[in-house]
């Protein structure tokens, strides 16, 4: 089974990040656990780097609202139309702010070797919302979307 950085991130989210405890083991213990679980060292290191970069991003205060987003050619190469539409849906639904949308785009672009699918984008957005203080309702709504508890499109 091919594991990758994204699998490591999901494992970390489900086992450590989504909890309310502040008493997590140190990163060496978690890294050992990940290696014992079968993840590769380069993927574990990249996942920790990705999360560290996410934690270092400060809250962005947009200067102008409402905003209109045009994706660059590099972003369009990473985000297919379905992913771009989903980001806009989340913003219009009030789950993502323009600032959090930009953080989610940045974190997806940071996963250079990953193919960003809609499911991966949902997880990225969920992790971004977890890292940004203040809007637990948006996090909760996004968590429902990630775990398919509510539909994201009309049939």
19: left (phi over 0), alpha (psi -120 to 50) or beta: beta
| Cβ atoms < 10 Å from Cβ of 26 | 7
pLDDT tens for residues 38-60? 899 999 999 999 988 888 887 66
Contact (Cβ atoms closer than 8 angstroms) between residue 109 and residue 116: no
Is the pLDDT at 112 greater than 90? The verdict is no
pLDDT tens for residues 68-80? 789 999 999 999 9
- Ordered by start, the domain boundaries in the chain are 1-56, 64-155
> What pTM was computed for the model?
0.83
């Amino acid at each position: 089974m091919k594991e990758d950085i994204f699998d490591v991130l999901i494992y970390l989210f489900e086992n450590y990040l989504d909890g309310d405890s502040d008493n997590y083991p140190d990163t060496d213990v978690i890294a050992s656990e990940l290696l014992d679980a079968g993840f590769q060292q380069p993927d574990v290191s990249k996942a920790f780097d990705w999360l560290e970069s996410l934690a270092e991003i400060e809250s962005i205060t947009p200067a102008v609202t409402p905003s209109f987003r045009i994706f660059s050619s590099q972003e369009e190469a990473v985000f297919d139309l379905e992913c771009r539409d989903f980001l806009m849906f989340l913003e219009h639904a009030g789950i993502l702010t323009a600032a959090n949308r930009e953080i989610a785009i940045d974190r997806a672009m940071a996963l250079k070797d990953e193919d960003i699918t809609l499911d991966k984008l949902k997880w990225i957005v969920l992790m971004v919302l977890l890292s940004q203080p203040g809007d637990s309702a948006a996090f909760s709504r996004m968590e429902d979307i990630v775990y398919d508890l509510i539909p994201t499109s009309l049939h």
